[in-house]
Amino acid sequence: MMATASDNPVPRRLSREGEAGVLPEVDGLRLAHLILDMGFGGAERLAQDVAIALQERGARCHVVCFDAISGNTAPLARHGIPVELIQRKQIAFDSRACLRLLRRLKALGVQLLHAHDLSSLSYAVAAGLLLGIPVVMTEHSRHYIEARRIRRLEKRLLCLGVRRLVAVSPELARASVERDHVAPGKVAVIENGVDVERYARAQGRAFREELALGPGEALVGMVGRLEAIKGPDVLLEAFTALAGRFPGARLAYVGEGGLGEALRARSQALGLAARVRFLGSRSDIPQVMSGLDILVLPSLSEGLPLALLEGMAAGRAVVATAVGRVPGIVRPAWEGENGRLVPPGDVRALARTLMTLLGDAPLRARLGRAAQDFVARRYRLQDTFRNYQTVYAQALAGRT
């Protein structure tokens, strides 16, 4: 269930069966996902997964990007879901891009808009008001809102034109209500889910062979954007601290971003170029996760990182920073330990934790099994789909 403004100032999660306990009908629904770039991040994967799930249930989905299409869109194409670029100028609001969007939405007969970032939301709200189309937004993180106070005001105003604001964690929902002053009755919590069976059956042998890893060489990996907020530099410094003690350890970065060149230069200056690999964005994430010995998420800020759930679903030992929803997922020993938490930005703590795990293969295996079991019980992808269908039905019915 979800609280209303009169019930509680902080929204609750939707139930695993949706509000009504019945899967809402979506056959024939025409839905457009709006996002800046259909790349390889968690927001992009959620948009892709939800679009595919609804398309399989009879909806007609469309994806509109405003900056680029840099990711793997083949899964969408296989399901007949078009991905279109309506290029915007890098200004506060490009009215010409909005007019092009309006024409496309009318031509497609779109009945519902789902935005996945604040910039795309501005175009969704404008189009929704002009065409009478309800708008839903998913908020995946809030570091960009915290960085500039005016973004909180922008979000508050835009949410006046939103039927539902979906937060991927209770922490994000609470911040929307208490810090951004979004009406509580508009806010729902739908935590990300993962296809556990797909990740559990994935094989990492080919990925390890690609990296020429021997049987005694442990692979530490990060899957995510190479940006400061994700902490890849913290991971590199921690790896440097343990490299001498564990000469067989290797580090792999899967993802791209603005820190890529600096990280490469730093690893070369440290004499670690042969042991640190930069693999760019990849579409074989289940196989990548299965090939890792330890997954690290060194982020300084998060909502609910999909990469964390994917690594746990693959049965990997995970080390993550205690930010956002992460401490609610990675449990300590007294709650049934399924991973390790470290403070954000703490190189020494991260290095110590990695040393412990690198030196104890049975511990890694135990944590991986516990992680996989936890995600299978708590973060099923089907629950995520069901709850989005409930939110869509509420938005179309005009309920807030």
Reported as a single tens digit per residue, the pLDDT across 258-295 is 999 999 999 999 999 999 999 999 989 999 999 999 99
User: Are 277 and 165 part of one and the same domain?
Assistant: no
Could you tell me the residue range of the domain that residue 142 belongs to?
A: 30-193+381-396
Residue 197 has a CB neighbour count (10 Å cut-off) of 12
pLDDT band at 68 (very low <50, low <70, confident <90, very high): very high
List, for residues 321-374, the tens digit of each pLDDT value.
999 999 999 999 888 999 999 999 999 999 999 999 999 999 999 999 999 999
Q: Does 224 reside within a domain?
A: yes
Among candidate residues 270, 276, 272, 327, the one with its CA nearest the CA of residue 297: 327
Let me know whether 312 and 355 are in one domain. Answer: yes
Contact partners, residue 188, CB within 8 Å, separation at least 6: 2, 11, 13, 14, 164, 165, 166, 167, 173, 387, 391
Mean pLDDT of 303-321: 97
Question: Do 244 and 159 have their domain in common?
Answer: no
* pTM, entire model: 0.88
> Do 141 and 49 fall into the same domain?
yes
Looking at the fold, whether 339 and 218 belong to one and the same domain comes out as yes
Q: Is the dihedral of CA 376, 382, 385, 390 positive or negative?
A: negative
Same domain, 210 and 112: no
Structural domains counted in the chain = 2
Q: Report if residue 104 sits inside a domain.
A: yes
Extended beta strands in 204-275, E state = 219-223, 250-254
The pLDDT, as a whole number, for residue 6 is: 33
Cα 18 off chain centre by: 21
Q: Are 204 and 292 in contact (CB under 8 A)?
A: yes
User: CATH code at 111?
Assistant: 3.40.50.2000
> Do 309 and 208 have their domain in common?
yes
Residues 93 and 227 in one domain: no
Residue 154 and residue 67 in one domain: yes
SS3 262: helix
Residue 12 has pLDDT above 60, yes or no: no
